[in-house]
Structure 1
Amino acid sequence: MSARIPELPSKPSPVAVVIPAFNEADTVADVIRVARELTPDVVVASDGSVDDTVQVARQAGAQVLDIQPNGGKGPALKAALEATQAQYVIMLDADLTGLTLDHLHLLLAPVQGGQLDMSIGVFDGGGFVTDWGNKLTPHLSGQRACRRDWLLAVPHLGEERWPEPAITAHLKSTGARWDYIELPRVAQVLKEKKRGFWKGASARTKMYADLLTYGWRKKK
């Protein structure tokens, strides 16, 4: 894995937004635009993208890590975290729609205020399919806020193609305080729409198989 890591600002922002991305040129700029309303410290980790994700993200004003080859969301997330020195981080998926600055404040406020160690965003009213999938498995949500040092301490974070189960396991093992936060009218672009029905359905099946077998794989 290789990445071009930009120079860090001389005075780090207290909050960074980190965005793992794989072939998300159509949506990543809108996510970055909202993130930059909160903080100038926005890091996109392009995980082996072969479309224009890298160029689009740079043009939108993010620091961009062009990681090659594709290694999974976990390694991309860890690289993004290591590219900032912010005290707090917000994780966002790169294919969100309907995101606003208010949603970022909803995620961040209870963490910065000391009520939670991690907030986990769940979609509400963004669309039936994404709402249903997100609420069925809210512990797999990619929208979160927490302290950067806590997230970097998650075991196996940079080894898992999908890091959410490892994060959930660390929440439980450390007794961290966490809760779900509803994100009104936020949704994701379906894989079936981005890649075509059959390729998208296949990618979704593989993703959930990997996510839902994390505990079993770690016990082997």
Structure 2
Amino acid sequence: MSAVPTRQQPTVAVVIPAFNEEETVGDVVRAALTLTPEVVVASDGSADATAQVARTAGARVVELLENAGKGPALAAALQATDAEYVVMLDGDLQGLTREHLDVLLRPVLDGELDMTIGIFAGGGFASDFGNKMTPQLSGQRACRRDWLLGVPRLAAERWPEPAITSHLKATDARWAYVELPQVAQVLKETKRGFWSGVKARSKMYGQLLTFWVRKRKDD
């Protein structure tokens, strides 16, 4: 009697685009390693020790020579792995645990959803408020790697979340928000100083808005 072939376990990678996140990226990598040994950090032209800290923590590191934006960094991280599924994380998270990663990944692995999008809950007022006001901009997601690589202009968008959201609609993908209790994100105003942070945030929202303007023109 021939042996019944065993079903191969799905491969999973965690991909982390990061720009000047030396203070937090190590903890994010260590949390990610509790889920999978395949953790890839794409340092987006960081001027600090982001790449070194991530490598020391146990990640495979891809270093972009210039700060090209989150989209190009995410695409570079995706190209550095051949895993079937990916969990996307920002490099400035606080309070991340294995349980949060399971919440993101399990509905996708089980075939219930094509993508999950993580929303902070109880991690801190400012972080929670910003995340809940613009949940579609969350960088905490899980999906199939090939689907994500199919997002038009993924590697060309400095902020790829609107392009990903647009592709969810275009492909009729099944997706849902999932809560990540006690997870927070370091605010730009904290990392860069108040006025520099406000300027960076305003610039980011301006760049995000141009995606929809350009999309309407293309359509």
Output the TM-score relative to the length of structure 2: 0.94
Please say if 1:56 is aligned against 2:53: yes
Q: Could you list the runs of 5+ residues in structure 2 that have no partner in the other structure?
A: 1-8
Residue 6 of structure 2 corresponds to which residue in structure 1?
A: none
Please provide the CA RMSD for this pair.
1.1
Residue 183 of structure 1 corresponds to which residue in structure 2?
A: 180
Please say if 1:91 is aligned against 2:88: yes
Q: d(CA) in 2 for partners of 1:199 and 1:13?
A: 43
> SS of the counterpart of 2:155?
coil
Residue 152 of structure 1 corresponds to which residue in structure 2?
A: 149
> SS of the counterpart of 2:197?
helix
Q: d(CA) in 2 for partners of 1:210 and 1:134?
A: 18
Which amino acid counterpart does residue 136 of structure 2 have in structure 1? H
Deviation, 1:217, is 1.9
Give the conservation status (yes or no) of the 8 Å contact 1:46–1:54: yes
One of 192, 195, 198 as aligned partner of 2:195: 198
> SS of the counterpart of 1:161?
coil
Q: Deviations over 1:109-159 (max 9, x none)?
A: 000000000000000000111101101110000000000000000000000
One of 108, 122, 125 as aligned partner of 1:125: 122
Q: d(CA) in 2 for partners of 1:102 and 1:146?
A: 17
Residue 17 of structure 2 corresponds to which residue in structure 1?
A: 20
Residue 77 of structure 2 corresponds to which residue in structure 1?
A: 80
Residue 162 of structure 1 corresponds to which residue in structure 2?
A: 159
> SS of the counterpart of 1:38?
coil
One of 60, 65, 68 as aligned partner of 2:62: 65
Q: What fraction of aligned residue pairs are identical, expressed as a percent? A: 68
After the TM superposition, list the runs of 4 or more consecutive aligned residues in structure 1 that deviate by more than 6 angstroms. none
Rg (Cα) greater in structure:
2
Q: Deviations over 1:167-193 (max 9, x none)?
A: 000000000000000000101001111
Q: d(CA) in 2 for partners of 1:28 and 1:19?
A: 9
Give the conservation status (yes or no) of the 8 Å contact 1:119–1:145: yes
Q: d(CA) in 1 for partners of 2:57 and 2:128?
A: 28
Residue 141 of structure 1 corresponds to which residue in structure 2?
A: 138
Q: d(CA) in 2 for partners of 1:73 and 1:105?
A: 24
Deviation, 1:218, is 2.5
> SS of the counterpart of 1:201?
helix
